[in-house]
Structure 1
Amino acid sequence: MLEARLNEAAILKRLLEAIKELVADANFECNEEGINLQAMDNSHVALVSVKLDATGFKRYRCDRPMPLGVNLNSLTKVLKCAKDDDVVIIKAADDADILSLTYEARNSDRIAEYDMKLMDIDADTLGIPDTDYDARVTMPSSEFSRIVRDLSQLGESVRIEVSKEGVRFVSEGEAANGNILLKQSEITTKAGSSSTKKEEDADEEEENEEDGEDEGGDGKKKAKKAKKEKVKKETGEDVSMNGEEEDDEEEFKADGEDGEEEQEEDSSSKKRKKAPAKATGKATKKAKKSKDGDDDGDLPDGVRIELNQHVNLTFSLKYLVNFSKSSSLSNVVQLMMSNDVPLLVSYEFGQGHIRYYLAPKIGDD
């Protein structure tokens, strides 16, 4: 018995849209750890591997390992009947030939139920060996999508070269050539140092004010008194009434050093809050990034390159354009390469991951 409850139908819809053109029929292998899919395209050039962790579901139960053979185009049509924010409940009995999908609307009592016929698909699960890649490029998935889409207008292949200079995408067509270089970004470091510098400046300014308070004495008190009177005028209080001004002055003097320190602390705390404002905005963006699935939590517009050895390989753009459709699942993509080894394109998201393996082109093949 399988029962899986997913908070948002959008996850499954985006997942199916990303792989349906590569693979027609596939087995979803279900076990207590989650749901896995592994399939090759018809030409055996590309392999797709999907994992949905059991922890990514609101509720998950799988009594025993079971395959769910589905036609991906048919499943895509059934999923289109759900709204993006609908709760999806997937059910299948042991040895059943029917897959049940129930959509529960969040803001209404609408419940839609669909039954889909399962298929017997005889497919061998391929063992994917662990590989130590010579180059790893982490970049925004939107940037990767744009590059492969643009270069696919020029030619059928792209040469990806990773070196100390950066990662270069080169496509040569009959009418035009394209060459795009992405250098490693240092945005994270700069943002951090800028924030630290602003905080240090704020602290230094606060210290200077405290020193000035000790040296300034009466002048400081007069300035604060004038400021206080100005505030009262703005709020509509009558400062010119007999005796009130003197009372205020006496009250100010009675507070003594404590009153001054309190106002200084308020002033300095405001300055502290204002100083790192820009850095805070970026930090929020960074946190969102981490939540969406980037384990390292880099800024989405940054490019990071880890290089052990120079890599230079050529791939089919048609497949890369298909892979890039997974950018709707994650803001970050990782390209992992070694010479004479299939390229690994990996997207991590909250419920699991989707990985593509693409064999490089050799010579004119």
Structure 2
Amino acid sequence: MPADNTVFEAKLDSASVFKKVIDAIKDLIGDTSWDCTNTGMSLQSMDSSHVALVNVLMRSEGFDSYKCSRNISMGISLNSMAKVLKCAGNEDSITISHDSNSNVVSFAFHNLEAERAAEFELKLMNIDTEHLGIPETEYDCIIKLPSLELKRICQDLTQFGDSVNIACAKSEVKFETTGDIGKGNIRLAARKLSKAEQEITIEMENPVSLIFAIKYLNFFTRATPLSDTVRLCMSNNHPLCIEYPLPSIGYIRYYLAPKLEDTEE
């Protein structure tokens, strides 16, 4: 029997989650390295302007089968990966694997009902990735809201300005922008509902008010199809953390540095 040189193999019964993950990050970071260990797949990468950081974790127990015999780093163009994943139907299973004596990562898609199988290979890239230590931060304010709500706020305020001020105080959070044609602000109050995914919760230790480039927030909301809810974690003078939980498998976290106000006191 030929030796099994597979050092990494991960399978999901539905390709849709992986497709949505790549769609949520590919236009922001381009080429990156997936770090694969026996505990799961992860990536950490900054955008080209070094303003935003993306951190993805997909835990091994969230896969339908998972094997990683030694730690590996797979340099991949996310745009190329997205092209491969477009060849998979949402109902297809997806198996991603890497062989110890090859310079490719393999993708296999299977649909038992259609009796269809497809296989693709992507050449691996040498990518120098700098892992930034993400400090554990005790956030002054954590807001949990429906992900569609955040997407709509960002889309609405984009019509008015390039920056948005997010201010959290007491039991409400305010999004405000000012531009050439005028200004807009949207207030959300904490609310309890029978459907947990429709609730808005605000945990506040101290009031927070920070300004962010709305262009990046719109990039982040591309993860909306992955999760019903989103968390905004804020502290003064710290990057904003926006977390989209991936049910049963992990999360996507986006970090965005605040903009300095134009006028200093």
Query: TM-score, structure 2 length as denominator?
Result: 0.94
Q: Which has the higher strand share?
A: 2
Hey, what's the Cα distance between the residues in 1 that align with 2:171 and 2:120? Answer: 53
Shift of the 177–65 alpha-carbon distance from structure 1 to 2, 3 Å rule, reads same
Hey, what's the Cα distance between the residues in 2 that align with 1:105 and 1:364? Answer: 55
- Residue in 1 that maps onto 2:50: 44
Hey, what's the Cα distance between the residues in 2 that align with 1:322 and 1:95? Answer: 37
- Residue in 1 that maps onto 2:4: none
- Residue in 1 that maps onto 2:161: 155
- Residue in 1 that maps onto 2:30: 24
Contact 2:171 2:202 in 1 (8 A): no
Hey, what's the Cα distance between the residues in 2 that align with 1:111 and 1:319? Answer: 38
Q: For the pair shown, which has the larger CA radius of gyration, 1 or 2?
A: 1
- Residue in 2 that maps onto 1:333: 230
How far does residue 302 in structure 1 lie from its aligned partner after superposition? 1.4
How far does residue 95 in structure 1 lie from its aligned partner after superposition? 5.2
Does 1:364 find its partner at 2:262? yes
Does 1:308 find its partner at 2:205? yes
Does 1:68 find its partner at 2:74? yes
- Residue in 2 that maps onto 1:187: 193
Hey, what's the Cα distance between the residues in 1 that align with 2:206 and 2:256? Answer: 20
Shift of the 70–121 alpha-carbon distance from structure 1 to 2, 3 Å rule, reads same
Q: Secondary structure at the match of 1:18?
A: helix
Shift of the 95–38 alpha-carbon distance from structure 1 to 2, 3 Å rule, reads farther
> Which letter maps to 2:145?
M
Contact 1:66 1:94 in 2 (8 A): no
How far does residue 93 in structure 1 lie from its aligned partner after superposition? 1.0
4+ residue runs of structure 1 moved beyond 2 angstroms?
A: none
For residues 46-67 of structure 1, give each alpha carbon's deviation from its aligned partner in whole angstroms, at most 9, with x where no partner exists. 0000000000111000000000
How far does residue 96 in structure 1 lie from its aligned partner after superposition? 2.6
Contact 1:31 1:66 in 2 (8 A): yes
Hey, what's the Cα distance between the residues in 2 that align with 1:15 and 1:364? Answer: 35
Q: Secondary structure at the match of 2:107?
A: strand
Contact 1:8 1:85 in 2 (8 A): yes
- Residue in 2 that maps onto 1:166: 172
Sequence identity percentage? 41
Hey, what's the Cα distance between the residues in 1 that align with 2:142 and 2:102? Answer: 43
Q: Secondary structure at the match of 2:29?
A: coil
Partner of residue 137 from structure 2, selected from 121, 131, 134: 131
Hey, what's the Cα distance between the residues in 2 that align with 1:68 and 1:102? Answer: 17
How far does residue 301 in structure 1 lie from its aligned partner after superposition? 1.9
Q: Secondary structure at the match of 1:347?
A: strand
5 Å-filtered alignment, 1:245-324, equals: 286=195, 299-324=196-221
Hey, what's the Cα distance between the residues in 1 that align with 2:12 and 2:59? Answer: 11
Partner of residue 343 from structure 1, selected from 237, 240, 249: 240
- Residue in 1 that maps onto 2:98: 92
RMSD (Å), alpha carbons:
1.1
- Residue in 1 that maps onto 2:125: 119
For residues 104-125 of structure 1, give each alpha carbon's deviation from its aligned partner in whole angstroms, at most 9, with x where no partner exists. 0141211100011110101121
How far does residue 94 in structure 1 lie from its aligned partner after superposition? 1.9
